[in-house]
Structure 1
Amino acid sequence: MDKQIKRSSYDTFNAKSYLKKNYPVGPDGMPTSHEDWLQWLLNNLKDTFAGGKLSGERLLDVGTGPAIHNLISAARFFPNITCAEYCQENRKELEKWVRGEEDAFDWDPFIKYVCGLEGQSDWEARKVALRDAIQHVVFCDVREENPLGALNGGPYDVVSSIFTLCAVAMDKTDFDGIVSHVSHLVKPGGMLILVFDLEATHVSDGTVSRPHVFLEASDIRRAVRNSGFTDVNDDVCLVKSNEGLQWDGTGYIYLTARKCSE
Protein backbone atom coordinates (compact mmCIF):
# COMPACT_ATOMS: atom_id res chain seq x y z
CA MET A 1 0.00 0.00 0.00
CA ASP A 2 1.23 3.48 -0.84
CA LYS A 3 2.38 5.49 2.19
CA GLN A 4 0.28 8.47 1.17
CA ILE A 5 -2.84 6.30 0.95
CA LYS A 6 -2.30 4.93 4.44
CA ARG A 7 -1.76 8.44 5.77
CA SER A 8 -4.97 9.72 4.20
CA SER A 9 -6.92 6.79 5.68
CA TYR A 10 -6.55 8.43 9.09
CA ASP A 11 -8.62 11.37 7.84
CA THR A 12 -11.65 9.13 8.42
CA PHE A 13 -10.52 7.80 11.82
CA ASN A 14 -13.48 7.68 14.20
CA ALA A 15 -12.06 8.75 17.56
CA LYS A 16 -15.29 8.36 19.55
CA SER A 17 -15.90 4.86 18.16
CA TYR A 18 -12.31 3.91 18.97
CA LEU A 19 -12.60 5.15 22.56
CA LYS A 20 -15.94 3.41 23.16
CA LYS A 21 -14.62 0.15 21.74
CA ASN A 22 -11.24 0.07 23.45
CA TYR A 23 -11.78 1.75 26.83
CA PRO A 24 -14.95 0.34 28.44
CA VAL A 25 -15.73 0.52 32.14
CA GLY A 26 -17.05 -2.49 34.06
CA PRO A 27 -20.04 -2.68 36.42
CA ASP A 28 -17.72 -1.83 39.32
CA GLY A 29 -16.86 1.49 37.69
CA MET A 30 -13.31 0.42 36.92
CA PRO A 31 -11.61 0.03 33.52
CA THR A 32 -11.96 -3.38 31.90
CA SER A 33 -10.12 -4.94 28.96
CA HIS A 34 -9.62 -8.23 27.14
CA GLU A 35 -7.37 -10.42 29.30
CA ASP A 36 -6.45 -7.32 31.35
CA TRP A 37 -4.09 -5.84 28.73
CA LEU A 38 -4.97 -2.32 29.89
CA GLN A 39 -4.24 -3.13 33.53
CA TRP A 40 -0.90 -4.62 32.43
CA LEU A 41 -0.04 -1.42 30.54
CA LEU A 42 -1.04 0.97 33.32
CA ASN A 43 0.87 -1.05 35.91
CA ASN A 44 4.02 -0.98 33.77
CA LEU A 45 3.71 2.77 33.33
CA LYS A 46 3.24 3.20 37.07
CA ASP A 47 6.40 1.19 37.76
CA THR A 48 8.43 3.08 35.15
CA PHE A 49 7.57 6.55 36.43
CA ALA A 50 7.77 5.66 40.11
CA GLY A 51 10.96 3.64 39.65
CA GLY A 52 13.38 6.55 40.05
CA LYS A 53 15.08 6.02 36.66
CA LEU A 54 13.51 9.05 34.98
CA SER A 55 14.62 12.63 35.38
CA GLY A 56 13.75 16.00 33.92
CA GLU A 57 10.52 17.91 33.36
CA ARG A 58 9.68 17.60 29.67
CA LEU A 59 7.89 14.59 28.23
CA LEU A 60 6.77 14.07 24.65
CA ASP A 61 4.09 11.51 23.84
CA VAL A 62 4.16 10.57 20.16
CA GLY A 63 0.93 9.35 18.61
CA THR A 64 -1.22 10.02 21.66
CA GLY A 65 -4.39 9.32 19.71
CA PRO A 66 -7.57 10.50 21.44
CA ALA A 67 -6.53 8.97 24.79
CA ILE A 68 -4.76 10.24 27.93
CA HIS A 69 -4.60 7.04 30.02
CA ASN A 70 -0.88 6.50 29.34
CA LEU A 71 -0.05 9.94 30.79
CA ILE A 72 -1.75 9.61 34.17
CA SER A 73 1.35 8.32 36.00
CA ALA A 74 3.61 10.65 34.02
CA ALA A 75 1.77 13.74 35.29
CA ARG A 76 2.91 12.92 38.82
CA PHE A 77 6.52 13.60 37.85
CA PHE A 78 6.54 15.58 34.60
CA PRO A 79 4.87 19.03 34.66
CA ASN A 80 5.50 19.73 30.96
CA ILE A 81 3.86 17.25 28.57
CA THR A 82 3.47 17.61 24.82
CA CYS A 83 1.00 15.35 23.01
CA ALA A 84 1.96 14.88 19.36
CA GLU A 85 -0.62 13.33 17.04
CA TYR A 86 -1.08 13.03 13.27
CA CYS A 87 -4.89 12.71 13.14
CA GLN A 88 -6.85 15.94 13.52
CA GLU A 89 -9.88 14.13 14.94
CA ASN A 90 -7.73 12.70 17.73
CA ARG A 91 -6.19 16.07 18.52
CA LYS A 92 -9.68 17.54 18.85
CA GLU A 93 -10.66 14.82 21.34
CA LEU A 94 -7.55 15.47 23.40
CA GLU A 95 -8.16 19.20 23.48
CA LYS A 96 -11.78 18.66 24.54
CA TRP A 97 -10.62 16.71 27.59
CA VAL A 98 -7.89 19.21 28.47
CA ARG A 99 -10.47 22.03 28.33
CA GLY A 100 -12.97 20.00 30.35
CA GLU A 101 -15.73 20.13 27.74
CA GLU A 102 -18.96 18.26 28.50
CA ASP A 103 -18.81 15.89 25.54
CA ALA A 104 -15.19 14.84 26.20
CA PHE A 105 -14.53 11.18 26.95
CA ASP A 106 -14.79 10.37 30.67
CA TRP A 107 -11.34 9.35 31.87
CA ASP A 108 -12.21 9.61 35.57
CA PRO A 109 -12.42 5.81 36.12
CA PHE A 110 -8.96 5.42 34.60
CA ILE A 111 -7.45 8.18 36.73
CA LYS A 112 -9.02 6.63 39.84
CA TYR A 113 -7.64 3.22 38.88
CA VAL A 114 -4.08 4.47 38.32
CA CYS A 115 -4.08 6.46 41.55
CA GLY A 116 -5.20 3.29 43.32
CA LEU A 117 -2.26 1.40 41.81
CA GLU A 118 0.07 4.11 43.08
CA GLY A 119 -1.48 4.24 46.54
CA GLN A 120 -2.63 7.79 45.95
CA SER A 121 -6.11 8.74 47.15
CA ASP A 122 -6.63 12.21 45.65
CA TRP A 123 -7.48 11.30 42.07
CA GLU A 124 -9.16 14.63 41.44
CA ALA A 125 -5.89 16.43 42.15
CA ARG A 126 -4.18 14.14 39.62
CA LYS A 127 -6.83 15.02 37.06
CA VAL A 128 -6.07 18.70 37.55
CA ALA A 129 -2.33 18.05 37.44
CA LEU A 130 -2.63 16.14 34.17
CA ARG A 131 -4.71 18.86 32.53
CA ASP A 132 -2.16 21.45 33.65
CA ALA A 133 0.75 19.30 32.50
CA ILE A 134 -0.54 18.84 28.94
CA GLN A 135 0.76 22.17 27.70
CA HIS A 136 0.76 21.43 23.97
CA VAL A 137 -1.27 19.27 21.57
CA VAL A 138 0.56 19.37 18.24
CA PHE A 139 0.71 17.73 14.83
CA CYS A 140 3.42 15.18 14.11
CA ASP A 141 4.33 12.81 11.29
CA VAL A 142 6.69 10.04 12.36
CA ARG A 143 7.60 9.28 8.74
CA GLU A 144 9.39 12.62 8.57
CA GLU A 145 13.01 12.81 9.75
CA ASN A 146 11.90 15.55 12.14
CA PRO A 147 8.42 14.38 13.19
CA LEU A 148 7.53 17.67 14.87
CA GLY A 149 8.83 19.97 12.15
CA ALA A 150 9.39 23.52 13.37
CA LEU A 151 7.70 22.69 16.69
CA ASN A 152 10.52 20.41 17.83
CA GLY A 153 11.54 22.48 20.86
CA GLY A 154 14.74 20.52 21.35
CA PRO A 155 15.17 16.94 22.60
CA TYR A 156 12.96 15.72 25.44
CA ASP A 157 13.85 14.07 28.74
CA VAL A 158 11.35 11.27 28.05
CA VAL A 159 9.63 10.26 24.83
CA SER A 160 6.80 7.74 24.92
CA SER A 161 4.77 6.17 22.15
CA ILE A 162 2.00 3.69 22.89
CA PHE A 163 0.70 1.39 20.11
CA THR A 164 1.51 3.94 17.39
CA LEU A 165 4.77 3.36 15.54
CA CYS A 166 3.88 -0.19 14.58
CA ALA A 167 0.41 0.85 13.43
CA VAL A 168 1.65 3.39 10.88
CA ALA A 169 4.64 1.45 9.50
CA MET A 170 4.30 -0.13 6.05
CA ASP A 171 6.90 -2.87 6.58
CA LYS A 172 9.90 -3.67 8.78
CA THR A 173 12.21 -1.33 6.87
CA ASP A 174 9.73 1.50 7.25
CA PHE A 175 9.35 0.64 10.95
CA ASP A 176 13.12 0.87 11.47
CA GLY A 177 13.12 4.33 9.89
CA ILE A 178 10.22 5.50 12.04
CA VAL A 179 11.95 4.37 15.24
CA SER A 180 15.07 6.23 14.10
CA HIS A 181 13.06 9.41 13.50
CA VAL A 182 11.52 9.26 16.96
CA SER A 183 14.90 8.54 18.55
CA HIS A 184 16.10 12.00 17.48
CA LEU A 185 13.52 13.52 19.84
CA VAL A 186 15.12 11.95 22.94
CA LYS A 187 17.97 13.83 24.59
CA PRO A 188 21.24 11.97 25.27
CA GLY A 189 20.75 10.02 28.48
CA GLY A 190 16.97 10.38 28.17
CA MET A 191 14.41 7.58 28.23
CA LEU A 192 12.30 6.04 25.50
CA ILE A 193 9.08 4.20 26.39
CA LEU A 194 7.43 2.14 23.65
CA VAL A 195 4.47 -0.22 23.53
CA PHE A 196 3.69 -2.36 20.48
CA ASP A 197 1.33 -5.02 19.25
CA LEU A 198 3.12 -8.28 18.51
CA GLU A 199 2.62 -10.29 15.31
CA ALA A 200 -0.53 -8.42 14.23
CA THR A 201 -1.51 -8.02 10.58
CA HIS A 202 -4.53 -5.75 10.99
CA VAL A 203 -6.18 -3.50 13.57
CA SER A 204 -9.48 -1.60 13.66
CA ASP A 205 -10.78 1.60 15.20
CA GLY A 206 -14.15 -0.08 15.62
CA THR A 207 -15.34 1.01 12.19
CA VAL A 208 -12.51 0.62 9.66
CA SER A 209 -9.85 -2.12 9.57
CA ARG A 210 -6.30 -1.08 8.66
CA PRO A 211 -3.20 -3.17 7.82
CA HIS A 212 -0.54 -3.57 10.53
CA VAL A 213 3.11 -4.48 10.04
CA PHE A 214 3.97 -7.94 11.42
CA LEU A 215 6.59 -7.49 14.16
CA GLU A 216 8.18 -9.96 16.53
CA ALA A 217 9.74 -8.85 19.81
CA SER A 218 13.23 -9.39 18.35
CA ASP A 219 12.45 -6.96 15.48
CA ILE A 220 11.53 -4.25 17.96
CA ARG A 221 14.53 -4.72 20.24
CA ARG A 222 16.86 -4.62 17.23
CA ALA A 223 15.32 -1.42 15.84
CA VAL A 224 15.65 0.34 19.21
CA ARG A 225 19.28 -0.70 19.73
CA ASN A 226 20.17 0.28 16.16
CA SER A 227 18.70 3.74 16.80
CA GLY A 228 21.24 4.52 19.52
CA PHE A 229 19.73 3.11 22.71
CA THR A 230 21.09 0.92 25.46
CA ASP A 231 19.72 -0.52 28.72
CA VAL A 232 16.85 -2.03 26.73
CA ASN A 233 14.30 -3.78 28.95
CA ASP A 234 10.89 -5.14 28.12
CA ASP A 235 7.88 -6.99 29.41
CA VAL A 236 5.79 -9.16 27.07
CA CYS A 237 2.09 -9.83 27.64
CA LEU A 238 0.75 -12.74 25.58
CA VAL A 239 -2.97 -13.16 25.00
CA LYS A 240 -4.59 -16.58 25.14
CA SER A 241 -7.18 -15.70 22.52
CA ASN A 242 -8.06 -12.74 20.34
CA GLU A 243 -11.43 -14.15 19.32
CA GLY A 244 -14.03 -11.42 19.01
CA LEU A 245 -11.38 -8.69 18.79
CA GLN A 246 -10.79 -6.49 15.76
CA TRP A 247 -7.10 -7.33 15.97
CA ASP A 248 -5.16 -10.52 15.26
CA GLY A 249 -1.93 -10.14 17.25
CA THR A 250 -0.47 -12.57 19.77
CA GLY A 251 0.26 -10.07 22.53
CA TYR A 252 2.00 -6.83 23.46
CA ILE A 253 5.47 -5.62 24.40
CA TYR A 254 6.30 -2.80 26.82
CA LEU A 255 9.86 -1.58 26.29
CA THR A 256 12.08 1.05 27.90
CA ALA A 257 15.53 2.11 26.73
CA ARG A 258 18.16 4.74 27.54
CA LYS A 259 19.54 7.04 24.82
CA CYS A 260 23.29 6.69 24.57
CA SER A 261 25.12 9.76 25.89
CA GLU A 262 27.08 11.70 23.32
Structure 2
Amino acid sequence: MASDEQTETPLYDKFSAKTYLKSNYSVGADGIPDSHEDWLPWLLNNLKDTFAGGKLSGKRLLDVGTGPAIHNLISAARVFPNITCAEYCQENREEVEKWVRGEEDAFDWAPFIKYVCGLEGDSDWEARQVALRDAIKHVVFCDVREERPLGTFDGGPYDVVSSMFLLSTVGKDRADFDEILSKLGSLVKPGGTLVLVCDLEATHYTDGRVSYPLITLDAPYVRQAVRNCGFKDVQDDILFFRSTEGMNWDGTSYIYLTARKCAE
Protein backbone atom coordinates (compact mmCIF):
# COMPACT_ATOMS: atom_id res chain seq x y z
CA MET A 1 0.00 0.00 0.00
CA ALA A 2 1.39 3.38 -1.00
CA SER A 3 0.74 6.51 1.02
CA ASP A 4 1.26 10.15 0.06
CA GLU A 5 3.19 12.13 2.67
CA GLN A 6 1.70 15.55 1.85
CA THR A 7 0.01 17.33 4.72
CA GLU A 8 -2.98 19.61 4.86
CA THR A 9 -3.44 23.20 5.97
CA PRO A 10 -4.06 24.12 9.66
CA LEU A 11 -7.83 23.65 9.10
CA TYR A 12 -7.51 20.17 10.63
CA ASP A 13 -5.15 21.07 13.47
CA LYS A 14 -7.76 20.24 16.13
CA PHE A 15 -9.53 17.45 14.26
CA SER A 16 -9.58 14.05 15.94
CA ALA A 17 -10.30 11.12 13.65
CA LYS A 18 -10.86 8.77 16.59
CA THR A 19 -13.35 11.13 18.22
CA TYR A 20 -15.17 11.51 14.91
CA LEU A 21 -15.40 7.74 14.43
CA LYS A 22 -16.56 7.10 18.00
CA SER A 23 -19.23 9.81 17.70
CA ASN A 24 -20.61 8.81 14.30
CA TYR A 25 -20.19 5.06 13.80
CA SER A 26 -21.77 2.67 16.24
CA VAL A 27 -23.86 -0.48 15.91
CA GLY A 28 -26.86 -1.38 18.06
CA ALA A 29 -27.42 -4.64 19.91
CA ASP A 30 -29.43 -5.83 16.89
CA GLY A 31 -26.35 -5.48 14.65
CA ILE A 32 -27.81 -2.56 12.71
CA PRO A 33 -25.67 0.60 12.33
CA ASP A 34 -27.00 3.28 14.63
CA SER A 35 -27.73 6.60 12.91
CA HIS A 36 -30.36 9.34 12.80
CA GLU A 37 -33.42 8.00 10.96
CA ASP A 38 -31.29 5.08 9.74
CA TRP A 39 -29.27 7.02 7.20
CA LEU A 40 -26.34 4.63 7.54
CA PRO A 41 -28.42 1.52 6.69
CA TRP A 42 -29.89 3.53 3.79
CA LEU A 43 -26.42 4.31 2.47
CA LEU A 44 -25.08 0.79 2.94
CA ASN A 45 -28.14 -0.72 1.24
CA ASN A 46 -27.66 1.56 -1.77
CA LEU A 47 -23.99 0.66 -1.98
CA LYS A 48 -24.91 -3.01 -1.76
CA ASP A 49 -27.34 -2.61 -4.66
CA THR A 50 -24.72 -0.79 -6.72
CA PHE A 51 -21.78 -3.11 -6.17
CA ALA A 52 -23.40 -6.47 -5.52
CA GLY A 53 -25.87 -6.15 -8.37
CA GLY A 54 -23.49 -7.45 -11.02
CA LYS A 55 -23.84 -4.31 -13.16
CA LEU A 56 -20.32 -2.93 -12.71
CA SER A 57 -17.16 -4.21 -14.30
CA GLY A 58 -13.48 -3.42 -14.08
CA LYS A 59 -10.83 -3.65 -11.39
CA ARG A 60 -10.00 -0.14 -10.20
CA LEU A 61 -11.97 2.17 -7.92
CA LEU A 62 -11.09 5.62 -6.57
CA ASP A 63 -12.84 6.88 -3.44
CA VAL A 64 -12.46 10.65 -3.02
CA GLY A 65 -12.86 12.09 0.47
CA THR A 66 -12.68 8.76 2.28
CA GLY A 67 -12.15 10.38 5.66
CA PRO A 68 -11.09 7.97 8.42
CA ALA A 69 -13.87 5.50 7.49
CA ILE A 70 -14.03 2.48 5.18
CA HIS A 71 -17.71 1.50 5.51
CA ASN A 72 -18.58 2.78 2.03
CA LEU A 73 -16.04 0.38 0.49
CA ILE A 74 -17.26 -2.89 2.00
CA SER A 75 -19.53 -3.84 -0.90
CA ALA A 76 -17.06 -2.43 -3.43
CA ALA A 77 -14.39 -4.91 -2.27
CA ARG A 78 -16.62 -7.72 -3.52
CA VAL A 79 -16.04 -6.46 -7.07
CA PHE A 80 -12.93 -4.29 -7.20
CA PRO A 81 -9.52 -5.71 -6.19
CA ASN A 82 -7.73 -2.37 -6.59
CA ILE A 83 -9.03 0.54 -4.47
CA THR A 84 -7.41 3.93 -3.95
CA CYS A 85 -8.53 6.04 -0.99
CA ALA A 86 -7.94 9.75 -1.62
CA GLU A 87 -8.22 12.03 1.40
CA TYR A 88 -7.15 15.56 2.33
CA CYS A 89 -6.60 15.18 6.07
CA GLN A 90 -3.41 13.39 7.11
CA GLU A 91 -4.91 12.05 10.35
CA ASN A 92 -7.77 10.50 8.39
CA ARG A 93 -5.34 8.83 6.00
CA GLU A 94 -3.34 7.46 8.92
CA GLU A 95 -6.51 6.02 10.48
CA VAL A 96 -7.36 4.16 7.27
CA GLU A 97 -3.83 2.83 7.01
CA LYS A 98 -3.95 1.59 10.61
CA TRP A 99 -7.07 -0.42 9.82
CA VAL A 100 -5.57 -1.83 6.63
CA ARG A 101 -2.54 -2.99 8.60
CA GLY A 102 -4.74 -4.44 11.34
CA GLU A 103 -3.15 -2.38 14.09
CA GLU A 104 -4.49 -2.89 17.60
CA ASP A 105 -5.70 0.69 18.10
CA ALA A 106 -7.47 0.92 14.72
CA PHE A 107 -11.23 1.44 14.65
CA ASP A 108 -13.20 -1.82 14.67
CA TRP A 109 -15.19 -2.01 11.43
CA ALA A 110 -16.08 -5.69 11.91
CA PRO A 111 -19.72 -4.98 12.97
CA PHE A 112 -20.26 -2.94 9.80
CA ILE A 113 -18.69 -5.61 7.62
CA LYS A 114 -20.92 -8.24 9.24
CA TYR A 115 -23.97 -6.06 8.61
CA VAL A 116 -23.16 -5.46 4.93
CA CYS A 117 -22.37 -9.12 4.31
CA GLY A 118 -25.71 -9.96 5.89
CA LEU A 119 -27.42 -7.63 3.40
CA GLU A 120 -25.65 -9.42 0.57
CA GLY A 121 -26.37 -12.91 1.88
CA ASP A 122 -22.69 -13.59 2.44
CA SER A 123 -21.95 -15.35 5.72
CA ASP A 124 -18.15 -15.12 5.48
CA TRP A 125 -17.60 -11.58 6.74
CA GLU A 126 -14.03 -12.35 7.81
CA ALA A 127 -13.11 -13.17 4.22
CA ARG A 128 -14.62 -9.85 3.14
CA GLN A 129 -12.57 -8.03 5.74
CA VAL A 130 -9.41 -9.64 4.37
CA ALA A 131 -10.49 -8.84 0.81
CA LEU A 132 -11.06 -5.19 1.65
CA ARG A 133 -7.72 -4.85 3.39
CA ASP A 134 -6.02 -6.45 0.39
CA ALA A 135 -7.97 -4.29 -2.06
CA ILE A 136 -6.92 -0.94 -0.59
CA LYS A 137 -3.69 -0.54 -2.52
CA HIS A 138 -3.13 3.19 -2.06
CA VAL A 139 -4.04 5.86 0.49
CA VAL A 140 -3.12 9.21 -1.04
CA PHE A 141 -3.40 12.93 -0.46
CA CYS A 142 -6.15 14.64 -2.43
CA ASP A 143 -7.26 18.27 -2.78
CA VAL A 144 -10.23 18.57 -5.12
CA ARG A 145 -9.71 22.34 -5.29
CA GLU A 146 -6.48 21.81 -7.23
CA GLU A 147 -6.26 21.33 -10.99
CA ARG A 148 -4.79 17.89 -10.40
CA PRO A 149 -6.73 16.63 -7.35
CA LEU A 150 -4.43 13.65 -6.80
CA GLY A 151 -1.26 15.69 -7.19
CA THR A 152 1.68 13.63 -8.42
CA PHE A 153 -0.20 10.36 -7.95
CA ASP A 154 -1.23 9.29 -11.44
CA GLY A 155 -3.60 6.37 -11.18
CA GLY A 156 -6.45 7.24 -13.50
CA PRO A 157 -8.73 6.90 -15.23
CA TYR A 158 -10.79 4.62 -13.00
CA ASP A 159 -13.61 2.19 -13.62
CA VAL A 160 -15.50 3.75 -10.70
CA VAL A 161 -15.05 7.03 -8.83
CA SER A 162 -17.05 7.42 -5.62
CA SER A 163 -17.40 10.41 -3.31
CA MET A 164 -19.59 10.58 -0.21
CA PHE A 165 -20.66 13.88 1.39
CA LEU A 166 -17.64 15.79 0.08
CA LEU A 167 -18.54 18.11 -2.76
CA SER A 168 -20.79 20.50 -0.86
CA THR A 169 -18.20 20.98 1.89
CA VAL A 170 -15.15 22.16 -0.04
CA GLY A 171 -16.39 25.01 -2.23
CA LYS A 172 -18.07 28.40 -1.86
CA ASP A 173 -20.91 28.19 -4.35
CA ARG A 174 -22.48 26.16 -7.16
CA ALA A 175 -19.82 27.28 -9.61
CA ASP A 176 -17.23 25.67 -7.33
CA PHE A 177 -19.41 22.55 -7.09
CA ASP A 178 -19.56 22.29 -10.88
CA GLU A 179 -15.79 22.73 -11.22
CA ILE A 180 -14.98 20.13 -8.57
CA LEU A 181 -17.50 17.68 -10.04
CA SER A 182 -15.91 18.15 -13.46
CA LYS A 183 -12.49 17.26 -12.00
CA LEU A 184 -13.88 14.09 -10.44
CA GLY A 185 -15.65 13.24 -13.68
CA SER A 186 -12.39 13.49 -15.60
CA LEU A 187 -10.98 10.67 -13.43
CA VAL A 188 -13.71 8.25 -14.60
CA LYS A 189 -12.88 6.29 -17.73
CA PRO A 190 -15.38 6.32 -20.64
CA GLY A 191 -18.13 3.86 -19.79
CA GLY A 192 -17.14 3.98 -16.12
CA THR A 193 -19.38 4.84 -13.19
CA LEU A 194 -19.66 7.79 -10.82
CA VAL A 195 -21.15 7.20 -7.36
CA LEU A 196 -22.06 10.38 -5.53
CA VAL A 197 -23.72 11.19 -2.20
CA CYS A 198 -24.59 14.81 -1.38
CA ASP A 199 -26.40 16.82 1.29
CA LEU A 200 -29.50 18.60 -0.02
CA GLU A 201 -30.88 22.00 1.06
CA ALA A 202 -28.17 22.39 3.70
CA THR A 203 -26.41 25.67 4.49
CA HIS A 204 -23.96 24.59 7.21
CA TYR A 205 -22.76 21.85 9.51
CA THR A 206 -21.03 21.98 12.87
CA ASP A 207 -18.53 19.89 14.77
CA GLY A 208 -20.07 21.09 18.02
CA ARG A 209 -17.67 24.01 18.31
CA VAL A 210 -17.44 25.66 14.89
CA SER A 211 -20.03 26.06 12.14
CA TYR A 212 -18.86 25.43 8.57
CA PRO A 213 -20.71 26.60 5.44
CA LEU A 214 -22.06 24.17 2.84
CA ILE A 215 -22.96 24.75 -0.79
CA THR A 216 -26.76 24.62 -0.85
CA LEU A 217 -27.85 22.02 -3.42
CA ASP A 218 -31.12 20.51 -4.62
CA ALA A 219 -31.69 17.22 -6.42
CA PRO A 220 -32.52 18.63 -9.91
CA TYR A 221 -29.36 20.72 -9.83
CA VAL A 222 -27.15 17.78 -8.85
CA ARG A 223 -28.64 15.56 -11.55
CA GLN A 224 -28.12 18.18 -14.26
CA ALA A 225 -24.61 19.01 -13.07
CA VAL A 226 -23.68 15.33 -13.43
CA ARG A 227 -25.15 15.24 -16.96
CA ASN A 228 -23.26 18.41 -17.85
CA CYS A 229 -20.02 16.63 -16.95
CA GLY A 230 -20.61 14.01 -19.64
CA PHE A 231 -22.58 11.37 -17.77
CA LYS A 232 -25.79 9.53 -18.66
CA ASP A 233 -28.07 6.90 -17.12
CA VAL A 234 -28.38 9.07 -14.02
CA GLN A 235 -30.22 7.25 -11.24
CA ASP A 236 -30.74 8.34 -7.68
CA ASP A 237 -32.42 7.65 -4.37
CA ILE A 238 -33.30 10.39 -1.89
CA LEU A 239 -33.59 9.98 1.87
CA PHE A 240 -35.87 12.65 3.35
CA PHE A 241 -35.50 13.36 7.05
CA ARG A 242 -38.63 13.84 9.13
CA SER A 243 -36.58 15.77 11.67
CA THR A 244 -33.00 16.96 11.95
CA GLU A 245 -33.17 17.56 15.69
CA GLY A 246 -29.89 16.50 17.25
CA MET A 247 -28.06 16.38 13.92
CA ASN A 248 -25.03 18.50 13.14
CA TRP A 249 -26.48 20.05 10.00
CA ASP A 250 -29.58 21.87 8.75
CA GLY A 251 -30.41 20.09 5.48
CA THR A 252 -33.56 18.24 4.47
CA SER A 253 -32.27 15.09 2.76
CA TYR A 254 -29.45 13.10 1.21
CA ILE A 255 -29.16 12.04 -2.43
CA TYR A 256 -27.42 8.84 -3.54
CA LEU A 257 -26.66 9.04 -7.27
CA THR A 258 -25.01 6.81 -9.84
CA ALA A 259 -24.24 7.67 -13.47
CA ARG A 260 -22.38 6.20 -16.42
CA LYS A 261 -19.76 8.25 -18.28
CA CYS A 262 -20.48 8.66 -21.96
CA ALA A 263 -18.11 6.93 -24.39
CA GLU A 264 -15.67 9.24 -26.15
Task: State TM-score, norm by structure 1.
Answer: 0.94
Query: What root-mean-square deviation, in Å, do the aligned CA atoms of Structure 1 and Structure 2 show?
Result: 1.5
- Pick closer, same or farther for the CA change 1:95–1:205 going to 2, 3 Å: farther
- Pick closer, same or farther for the CA change 1:7–1:193 going to 2, 3 Å: farther
Q: Which residue of 2 is the match for residue 145 of structure 1?
A: 147
Q: Which residue of 1 is the match for residue 22 of structure 2?
A: 20
Cα distance in 1 for residues equivalent to 2:196 and 2:167: 9
| Structure 1 contact 194–256 (Cα < 8 Å) conserved | yes
Cα distance in 1 for residues equivalent to 2:206 and 2:175: 23
More helix by share: 1
Query: Shift of the alpha carbon at 1:206?
Result: 5.1
Q: Which residue of 1 is the match for residue 46 of structure 2?
A: 44
Matches for 1:29-178 after TM superposition, within 5 Å: 29-178=31-180
Which amino acid is the alignment partner of residue 111 of structure 1?
Answer: I
Question: Which deviations, in whole Å up to 9, do the C-alpha atoms of 1:190-247 show, x marking residues without a partner?
Answer: 0000001111111234554321111111121121111111111100000000001111
Q: Which residue of 2 is the match for residue 221 of structure 1?
A: 223
Which amino acid is the alignment partner of residue 10 of structure 1?
Answer: Y
| Structure 2 contact 31–115 (Cα < 8 Å) conserved | no
Cα distance in 2 for residues equivalent to 1:196 and 1:22: 17
Which amino acid is the alignment partner of residue 169 of structure 2?
Answer: A
Aligned residues: 257
Cα distance in 2 for residues equivalent to 1:182 and 1:122: 34
Query: Shift of the alpha carbon at 1:13?
Result: 2.5
| Structure 2 contact 32–41 (Cα < 8 Å) conserved | no
Cα distance in 1 for residues equivalent to 2:118 and 2:232: 32
Cα distance in 1 for residues equivalent to 2:210 and 2:90: 17
Secondary structure in 2 matching 1:151: coil
Query: Shift of the alpha carbon at 1:89?
Result: 1.1
Which amino acid is the alignment partner of residue 44 of structure 1?
Answer: N
Query: Shift of the alpha carbon at 1:8?
Result: 4.2
Cα distance in 1 for residues equivalent to 2:161 and 2:227: 15
Secondary structure in 2 matching 1:41: helix
Cα distance in 1 for residues equivalent to 2:12 and 2:182: 22
| Structure 1 contact 17–205 (Cα < 8 Å) conserved | no
- Pick closer, same or farther for the CA change 1:248–1:117 going to 2, 3 Å: same
- Give the fraction of aligned pairs with identical amino acids, expressed as a percent: 74
Question: Which deviations, in whole Å up to 9, do the C-alpha atoms of 1:9-64 show, x marking residues without a partner?
Answer: 23432212221221122133431111010000000000001222211000000000
| Structure 2 contact 68–92 (Cα < 8 Å) conserved | yes
| Structure 1 contact 18–206 (Cα < 8 Å) conserved | no
Matches for 1:195-214 after TM superposition, within 5 Å: 195-205=197-207, 208-214=210-216
Unaligned stretches of 5+ in structure 1?
1-5
Which amino acid is the alignment partner of residue 258 of structure 2?
Answer: T
Cα distance in 1 for residues equivalent to 2:252 and 2:203: 10
Indicate the larger mover: 26-35 or 235-244: 26-35
Question: Which deviations, in whole Å up to 9, do the C-alpha atoms of 1:68-118 show, x marking residues without a partner?
Answer: 000000000100000000111110111111111111111111000000000
Q: Which residue of 2 is the match for residue 185 of structure 1?
A: 187
